[in-house]
Amino acid sequence: MPNAVYASTSDAAEATAYLAIEDFLHASVKGLWEAFWSQDDPIPFSVACLYNENLKFYQAEKAIGNGKLSGLCATGVLLDNPRHAHGKWDHILELALLRPHIRSVAAGSDQKLSLSALGEALFYALRMLLSRSLSKLNFSQSPNCAYVLLVDSQYGGVVKVEGDVDKLEFDVYNVYDCSVDWIKKHCKVSVSPIDRIWNKLGNANWGDIGALQVLFATFHCIVQYAGMPKHSIEDLAADHGSRLQTRRVARQLGDSRVNGHGLFQFQQQSVSPEIVEVPDESIKIKSEEFIMKLDVGSVLWLEDSDQQKGYQINDVVHNNELRYYIASPVKDPGKSLFLYVGSHPSQLEPAWEDMDLWFQVQRQTKILTVMRQKGLSSKYLPQLSASGRIVHPGRCQKPSSGGNCDHPWCGTPILVTNPVGETVADMVNAGRFGLDEAIRCCHDCLSALSTTTSADIRHGDIRPENIIYVRSGVRHPYFVLVGWGHAILEDRDRPAMNLHFSSTYALQERKLCSASDAESLVYVLYFACGGALPDLDSVEGALQWRETSWSRRLIQLKLGEVSTVLKAFADYVDSLCGTPYPIDYDIWLRRLRRNIHDDDHGKQVDTSG
């Protein structure tokens, strides 16, 4: 992609831009088709540029060679049909409009589309929907929905238009007015924020939010024609989530609170492994109008098993970029629970955050439900208190055929768990994590892992934010291993990727070995006990740090300053890393139990829950 400075002044740069858009869309469609539908079947789509004088499609290279550059107005993803070499409008899956200035010039509106670009996108989308309504092709999924991409030489966004064109009151003498009337009365328009796709060197940052939300829209365009894929969108989340987390921390994007992009000071001065433009100020990745605002004192109603439950928000908690809540049941205000709110199911969100919310709410709900079904019980594991959909204010206009009504909260998933506690990350930052806490944390987390391993469930995302310390209402405080959204149930599941806390095997193979969760626990204890964590910006660097730390026994020596049993446990885990041999939980729970000091001397600590 040519540099933005020259993109609007040079014919050569404009030609290069159309070639770049065509390549970008072709790579997107090819990658999505092979990843989710079939690696063996030929790709049934093609990419071409739209010429405005005859509204036919041409390959960018041929159009430019034939002097049609000035008349190119869009690039489309079309069904591949040899009988119609120049394409048909009802064959269009998706259109991309290349415009020099797509961002609003209004103050503070850099992430919003300009009105002129948005208006143009709406009319292109309407033409696509009209063509489909007259077509013999079968768009099996959401035929009344069209996606239009708006891009310039660096940024891009998605416009999603939904509406029944049968309700269009067509007037051949007043085409634009009747179209505007339909858009106002019968159309739903969703607009994503504008995010960077290409850096100033012209390289597409495939793992960044801008490219991902375009991929997400393209994915849904393919679904409209080809039906649901063989592999789910959650596979994409598993493949990309950790990489995006690393890049996001490295580029210091997100929350502008003090150290808001991460809980640890060592993350503030990371360097990106790629050549990218680093913004001077934080970028909000989510349009404020789509965020469900729940403040302290708000009451949320949940539909769970044909009954409604109310919860009052007592506190708002931030876990990196995601938020969750401490709430009390309306009927039992003295009880505290964790409450997680997901994304609206039909909302076109920035893809990375939407996937992270999916793991936090929907996937964790599934894991906790499986635990309950398998009879797994331990006080060191979170308990599923309630789950379901939000009950929004006003009357719900949900269609009889299913789905959700037009209210922005309708269908939003909710998860409620207990107990409530302080994260290890917060304890470390406040200087409240000492010797006794370290030994008890190791014991309690191993007890939780012992329980879930017996049912072939592994955690896959052990880090300081996913371990809480429960004090309220108990005689002896204890730790609970939370954050089970990335848990491994079957071979196709993938663990979360964290450069500081993931196991060596997880970083190398994207899988867990028998000792992986225990290895991650060792890294958490090392950090919590004052161990130095370096700035890491790549998997290679993370693996090198692990190799050096284990070979020089830096981790064992640090834990040895706190407790000999923790040092011995680290040595034991080191001997099992990458091997198929299972952890002997019983022996280590006994050894750790002997080193736990409670007020009632001689009384054994309960490990069964």
Band (515; pLDDT cuts 50, 70, 90): very high
Average the pLDDT over 561-589 and give the result.
Answer: 93
Do 409 and 467 share a domain, yes or no? no
What share of the chain has pLDDT > 90, as a percent?
Answer: 39
Query: Does the structure show a pLDDT above 70 at 541?
Result: yes
Specify whether 442 is located in the same domain as 328. no
199 token code pair: 């850096």
CA 243 to CA 462: how far, in whole Å?
A: 17
For residue 411, CA distances in Å to 301, 346, 405, 504, 567 come to: 12, 9, 8, 39, 49
Q: Of 542, 565, 570, 545, whose CA–CA distance to 555 is shortest?
A: 570
Classified as helix, coil or strand, 328 is: strand
What is the number of domains present in the chain?
Answer: 3
Q: Tokens at residue 570, please?
A: 């680290």
Residues 28 and 163 in one domain: yes
- Residue 588 contacts residue 446 (beta carbons within 8 Å): yes
Q: Tell me: do 495 and 562 sit in the same domain.
A: yes
Neighbours of 453 (CB within 10 A): 18
- Considering 231, 261, 287, which residue would you say is the last residue of a domain? 231
Structure tokens at 406: 């037009």
Stretch 8-14: mean pLDDT = 67
What's residue 602's pLDDT? 42
CA-based max dimension of the chain: 92
In a domain, 355, yes or no: yes
Query: Which pair of structure tokens corresponds to residue 557?
Result: 């020596």
pLDDT band at 195 (very low <50, low <70, confident <90, very high): confident
Domain boundary, last residue among 209, 231, 253: 231
pLDDT classification of 164: cutoffs 50, 70, 90: confident
In Å, how far are 173, 374, 376, 449 from 457, measured between CA atoms?
Answer: 65, 11, 10, 8
The verdict on 513 and 555 lying in the same domain is: yes
Cis peptide before 419 (omega within 30 of 0): yes
What confidence score (pLDDT) does residue 272 get? Answer: 42
Euclidean distance between the first and final Cα of the chain, in Å?
58
Q: Tell me whether residue 486 is in a domain.
A: yes
Letter for the amino acid at 572?
Y
Query: What 8-state DSSP symbol labels residue 407?
Result: S
Instruction: Let me know whether 518 and 416 are in one domain.
Output: no
Assess whether 485 and 374 both reside in one domain: no
Distances (CA, A) of 399 to 14, 475, 531: 46, 51, 56
If you average pLDDT over each of 144-153, 219-228, 448-457, which comes out highest?
448-457
Q: Is residue 85 part of a domain?
A: yes
412 and 453, same domain (yes or no): no
Residues 360, 459, single domain; the answer is no
Tell me if 279 is assigned to some domain. Answer: no
Name the pLDDT band for 305 (thresholds 50, 70, 90): low
Query: What's the mean pLDDT in 54-82?
Result: 87
What was the pLDDT predicted at 106? Answer: 44
How does residue 400 score in pLDDT terms, banded at 50, 70 and 90? low
Say which residue the tokens 């007890």 belong to.
447
Q: Where does a domain end: 189, 209, 231?
A: 231
CATH of the domain at 459: 1.10.510.10
Q: What SS3 string covers 199-225? A: CCCCCECCCCHHHHHHHHHHHHHHHHH
CATH at residue 339: 3.30.200.20
Whether 15 maps to a domain, the answer reads: yes
Instruction: Specify the pLDDT at position 280.
Output: 40
Answer whether residue 244 is part of any domain. no
- What pLDDT is recorded for position 242? 54
Read off the DSSP letter of residue 279. Answer: P
Task: Say if 530 falls within a structural domain.
Answer: yes
How confident is the model at residue 573, as a pLDDT?
Answer: 95
| CA count, 13 A, side-chain hemisphere, 334 | 2
**Helix 435-453 vs helix 516-528: angle between axes, to the nearest 10 degrees?**
170
Conformation bin of residue 484: beta by default, left when phi > 0, alpha when psi is -120 to 50:
alpha
Six-digit token string for 267: 């993350």
434 shares its domain with 330: no
Q: Are residues 354 and 480 in the same domain?
A: no
> What is the Cα–Cα distance from 228 to 220, expressed in whole angstroms?
9
In whole angstroms, what is the distance from residue 398 CA to residue 583 CA? Answer: 50
Domain that holds residue 555: 423-609
Tell whether the torsion through CA atoms of 303, 305, 306 and 312 is positive or negative.
negative
Residues 56, 197, single domain; the answer is: yes
Confidence (pLDDT) at 483: 95
Domain assignment present for residue 287? The answer is no
